[in-house]
A = this chain, B = another copy of it.
Amino acid sequence: MVDPRRDIEVYLDLAESNGLDINYIFETHRNEDYVIGSLELAEATGAEIFHGKNLNFQYGTPTSEGNIFHMGTVELEVLETPGHTLESISLAVRDLSASDDVQMVFTGDVIFAGETGRIDFYGIDRRPQMAGLLYESIFQKILPLGDGVILCPAHGAGSVCGADIREQDYTTVGYEKKTNPQLQFASKDDFVDFKISEELYTPPYFKKMEFYNQNGVPALGMLPHLRPMPVKFLKDWAQRGAQVLDVRKPTSYAGGHIPGSLNIWEEGVAAFAGWFLNYEDPIILVDDQSHGLLEVKLALARLGFDNIHGYLANGFPSWYLHAEHVDKLNLWTVHDLKKHQDDSDLFLLDVRKIDDWKKGYIEGAHHIYLGEIPLKMKEIPHDIPLVVYCDSGYKSTIACSFLKNNGYTHLTSVVGSMTAWEKAGYPVVND
Contacts and interface: CB of A to CB of B under 8 A. Distances in A.
Interface of A: 8-9, 12-13, 15-17, 19, 21-22, 44-46, 95, 98-99, 101, 103-104, 146-150, 169, 171-179, 181, 220-225, 227-233, 248-257, 288-289, 291, 312-314, 316-318, 320-326, 328, 331, 333-335, 392-393, 415-416, 419-421, 423-424
22 contacts: A9-B228, A13-B228, A16-B231, A16-B321, A17-B318, A19-B322, A44-B230, A45-B233, A148-B175, A149-B172, A150-B175, A221-B225, A248-B252, A249-B288, A251-B252, A251-B255, A251-B256, A251-B317, A252-B255, A321-B392, A321-B420, A323-B333
Given A17-B318, A146-B147, A249-B317, 14 more contacts: A8-B227, A12-B230, A16-B228, A16-B312, A19-B420, A101-B178, A103-B175, A146-B178, A148-B178, A255-B256, A317-B393, A321-B423, A326-B333, A328-B331
A252 B288 CA distance: 9
Contacts of A317: 17, 249, 251, 392-393
Classify the interface of chain A: helix, strand, loop or mixed.
mixed
Contacts of A230: 12, 15-16, 21-22, 44-45
B233 A13 contact: no
A296 to B, nearest CB: 14
A107 to B, nearest CB: 15
A339 B288 CA distance: 28
B229 A225 contact: no
Contacts of A415: 256, 320, 326
B420 A322 contact: yes
Given A149-B174, A174-B174, A228-B9, A179 B252 contact: no
